[in-house]
Chain A
Amino acid sequence: MNGNPLRPLLDRSRWRAPELVFWALIIAAFFAFPDHRSLGAQVLVTGIFALSLDMLLGYAGIVTLGHAAFFGVGAFTAGWLGKYGWHEPVSALAIAAAVAACAGALGSRLVVRGTDLSRLMVTLAIGLVLYEAANKATAVTGGIDGLQGIEFTPLLGLFPFDLMGSTAYVYAAIVAFVTLYLVRRLVHSPYGLSLHATRMNRRRALAVGIDDGRTLAISYIASAAVAGIAGALTTQITQFITIDALGFGRSADILIIAALGGVGYLYGGFIGALVFVVGRDLLSGISPAYWHFWLGLLLVLTIFFARGGIMGTAARLARRLAQRETQR
């Protein structure tokens, strides 16, 4: 047992009780709130998007201001497929993920170079360029009116997408689980350790033989693929897509969601998404400008008093409780 060098990794990748509770709650929510399944699906999809950002923020240490680019690429890929004849949803999801990953690969060369600031800039620019391109290419994207007439066949040929959002909820929950499982495997693999090392100290990582550029590029591409899945899922559920999916506002919102939930925990994004989507739904009567004011205030207070977001605070409290137990 002692001889296994992967022991720490195996320990860390063990499924823990709170995780099982989390997934049990997602199943329970389906039955407990039958009227809010559409909203629930929205929370789950936003959670997947936030998870993809968490890979960059929490694991690779890359701050990005343009992550909506890949969400949008996935969303539009699924939209075009659904509009021009490819109506099978699951394969469309896979294609969208692949296209988003390719887009990520194109952008990764610029992103892995340079400092935090130039990364901030490059990611912002990638998002803005794509938005401008989509805005100009109205024939392809429908401009501000968006793509109409997107259709998908029933899921697995059995479950049509209904107005209640029951199919959407189950579909989103399953995709969320599969994505989280894969990302979880990735960050707890030896590759995940090298990513961790690169984030903590790039020079030392380089010194022990880690190709830092390649490590960061892989995480960027994987993250783009997951963001693409979230985008495609949104299109399939709502059967509608506008260029807002690519906008700066979307990138900003997801950054806030990830930060509120807490980065580096995988589940933070889902918790943040729940707070954000439900909060916006409750406050939707209020003007969006004021909603953004309160959001900004919440963000500032989080950074000041609850660093690490909801998950970080919970982890701190749990640690403190555990300490008290041992002292007794």
Chain B
Amino acid sequence: MLTDFVGVIIDGTSYGAMLFVIALGLSITLGLMGFVNLAHTAVAMFGGYFLVTLVNQLAWPFFVSVAVVVVVIALASLVLERVVYAPFYRATALDQSLLTFGLMLMAGGIVHYFWGSSQQAVRVPEYLEGRWYLGDLSISKYRLMLLGTGMALLALLNWGLDSTRLGAMIRASVDNQRIAASMGIPVKRVFMIAFAIGSGLAALGGALGAEVLGLDPAFATRTLVLCLLVVVLGGAGSVNGTFFAAMLLGICDIGSKYYVPEFGAFMIYVLMAVVLLYRPQGLYSLVARRRAA
């Protein structure tokens, strides 16, 4: 009983940790610029596929590959932001959705063309394989690593937002873009950096989470749904809200699939419907509350 429960919690939280890492960039773009970026999970998908190529085919060390993937995708996203996204910051939600939706469709096709339609598995280093046993309880080492990564990133991001100059500039831009700009904060550049960080995080989530989320050409569509859920539940633009919502979603999803398999896929939507009925702005919408005041 209890060991089952602990197992569900660990699986759920490590799943949630990956969702947090991927969804955070989406939350930033939506919260900071109000840009609907449906192609965000496509970035995560490319992170996963690049890792597969580096580790499985070129036999690079696992964590070196992860670092390379994150840096390369973060830099590439800067170009994407300037060339493709920037002209649409003032466009309607419809145009933004359609543009990024088109990009997502293209990403699926590209991945299918280069890596095929079958599911890809990253070769995990030996020290992360297998499980630890504590009496009846067995814990996957890899999932524990995911959970640790998620926690570490939460701490790092909170510290970064609260105590660094860049964090202060990002917070100011979220609160009020126009006043931030008139105080001499380069809002445009702040956003570029935030966008690159978000894309890098997505790539990290996709690379590490491929094992848990499954990597195939439909990855972007499938995880997009989950990430949008996380952002909507948590409230766009809030790191802690995103974390909280991702954890809630992860535990709820894994738990309901384990305990009530016949309703497995419904629970998260029911959760969302209930939250939105009572809190249309999400659970942790500090931004919205501050703006309304």
Chain B: CB-nearest residue to A307: B95
Give Cα distance in the complex from A303 to B87, angstroms.
11
CB of B245, distance to nearest CB on chain A (Å): 12
Tell me if A191 counts as interface (CB < 8 A to partner B): no
Say yes or no: is A3 at the interface (Cβ < 8 Å to chain B).
Answer: no
B window 100-128: CB within 8 A of A: 101-110, 112-113, 117
Cβ contact within 8 Å between A117 and B232 = yes
A-B contact count (CB 8 A): 120
Q: With an 8 A cutoff between CB atoms, is B229 at the interface?
A: yes
Given contacts A292-B105, A296-B109, A299-B98, contact A116 B272 (CB under 8 A): no
Interface check B185, CB cutoff 8 A:
no
Q: Could you tell me if A295 and B36 are in contact, using CB atoms closer than 8 angstroms?
A: no
Contact string against B for A residues 51-77, beta-carbon threshold 8 Å, 1 for contact and 0 otherwise:
000000100010100000000000000
Q: List B residues 184-232 near A (Cβ within 8 Å).
A: 217, 221, 225, 228-229, 231-232
Selected contact of B93 from candidates A63, A124, A259, A295, CB within 8 Å = A63
The one of A125, A252, A256, A289 in contact with B269, judged by C-beta atoms closer than 8 angstroms, is A125
In the bound complex, do residue B98 and residue A122 qualify as a contact, i.e. CB atoms below 8 Å apart?
no
A124 pairs with B105, CB closer than 8 A:
no
Contact between B97 and A120 (Cβ–Cβ < 8 Å)?
A: yes
The tally of residues in B whose CB lies under 8 Å from a CB in A reads 42
* Chain B nearest Cβ from A316, distance in angstroms: 15
Flag whether B71 is at the interface (Cβ < 8 A): no
Q: Which residues of B contact A120 (CB under 8 A)?
A: 36, 93, 97, 228
Contact B112 A300 (CB under 8 A): no
Q: B97 and A63: CB pair below 8 A?
A: yes
Within the complex, the shortest CB–CB distance from B256 to chain A, in Å, comes to 12
B247-293 interface (Cβ within 8 A of A): 262, 265-266, 269, 272-273, 276-277, 280-282
B94 is an interface residue with CB less than 8 A from chain A: yes
Among the listed B104, B117, B228, B276, which residue makes an inter-chain contact with A296, where contact means beta carbons less than 8 Å apart? B104
User: CA separation between A136 and B221, bound complex, in Å?
Assistant: 21
Q: Which of B36, B101, B265 contacts A252 (CB 8 A)?
A: B101
Is A128 a contact partner of B225 (Cβ separation < 8 A)? Answer: yes
CB of A263 within 8 Å of the partner chain: yes
A126–B277 Cα distance when bound, in Å, is 14
Among A113, A252, A296, point to the contact of B280 (Cβ < 8 A).
A113
Closest chain B CB from A246 CB (angstroms): 14
Q: Which residues of A contact B102 (CB under 8 A)?
A: 256, 295-300, 303
Mask for A104-129, Cβ within 8 A of B = 1, else 0?
00000010011111101110110011
Contact call A299/B228, Cβ cutoff below 8 A = no
A105, B99: Cα distance in complex, Å:
30
| Structural contact, B99 and A121, CB atoms closer than 8 A | no
Given A63-B94, A290-B109, A292-B109, verify A114-B280 contact (CB < 8 Å).
yes
Note all chain B residues with C-beta closer than 8 A to A118. Answer: 232, 276, 280-282
Q: Give Cα A57–Cα B277 distance, bound, in whole angstroms.
A: 23
Q: Is B166 an interface residue (CB 8 A)?
A: no
Query: Which residues of chain A have C-beta atoms less than 8 A from B108's C-beta?
Result: 289, 292-293, 296
Which parts of B49-108 form the interface with A (CB within 8 Å)? 87-88, 93-95, 97-99, 101-108
User: A132: CB under 8 A from chain B?
Assistant: yes
Whole-angstrom distance between the Cβ of B289 and the nearest chain A Cβ: 14
B231 touches A117 (CB 8 A): yes
B180 at the interface (CB under 8 A from A): no
B151 on interface, CB distance cutoff 8 Å: no
Chain B residue nearest to A260 in the complex (CB): B98
Chain B interface residues toward A at CB < 8 A: 30, 36, 87-88, 93-95, 97-99, 101-110, 112-113, 117, 217, 221, 225, 228-229, 231-232, 236, 262, 265-266, 269, 272-273, 276-277, 280-282
What are some 11 contacts across the A-B interface (CB < 8 A)? Answer: A57-B94, A63-B93, A63-B94, A110-B276, A117-B36, A118-B232, A125-B269, A128-B225, A248-B221, A289-B117, A292-B105
